[in-house]
Amino acid sequence: MRHRRHRSRLNRTTEHRTALMRNLARALLEHEIIKTTEPKAKQLRQFVERLVTIAKDGIRAADPAGVTLAKRRLAFSYLQDKEAVKRLFDVVAPRCMDRPGGYTRVVRCGRRMGDGAPMAYIEFVDRPVIIPEVDEKPAPKSRRRRPSESATA
């Protein structure tokens, strides 16, 4: 029986939905924040939280040499991308070791201009925030010329 087994299908076939989640997860692991529609972000949150938990379990169960081959292969079966798995195990999961869950955050950001779809940012909660340095420089002087008096006569 399939009682209470609801999962949003996003109006896509199984293969399309799987490929969509893989691509969005790769993008999130690469950039650590992405903008997508709100239903996709909510679905991606479940997908990525499961991956981070797999990576954390792999790090905890690692032998002294740090090899986590079984969990890396399991994560690769979800992502199908070696660079994304490497980033998941080397960068993202160690940052989340002391957090018992809730590794991502979905922030609504209004509606899309063309079709009015609700948009949202999804990001890792522990991602480093880069604040650009601002140099204190005086404002540049305007280069516009004043009109000459003879030309206005």
Kindly list the structural domains of the chain, giving each domain's residue range(s) and its CATH number in brackets, ordered by start. 14-124 (3.90.1030.10)
Length of the chain measured in residues? 153
Give pLDDT, residue 152.
58
At 63, give phi and psi (nearest 5°).
Answer: -75, 175
Averaged over 8-34, what is the pLDDT? Answer: 96
Give pLDDT, residue 139.
67
Indicate whether 110 pLDDT > 60.
yes
How many other C-beta atoms lie within 10 A of the C-beta of residue 22? 16
Indicate whether 87 pLDDT > 90.
yes
pTM of the model: 0.81
HSE-CB at 148 with a 13 A cutoff on CA atoms is 2
Averaged over 127-145, what is the pLDDT? Answer: 75
Which of 13, 24, 23, 29 has the alpha carbon at shortest distance from 85? 29
CB 42 within 8 A of CB 106: yes
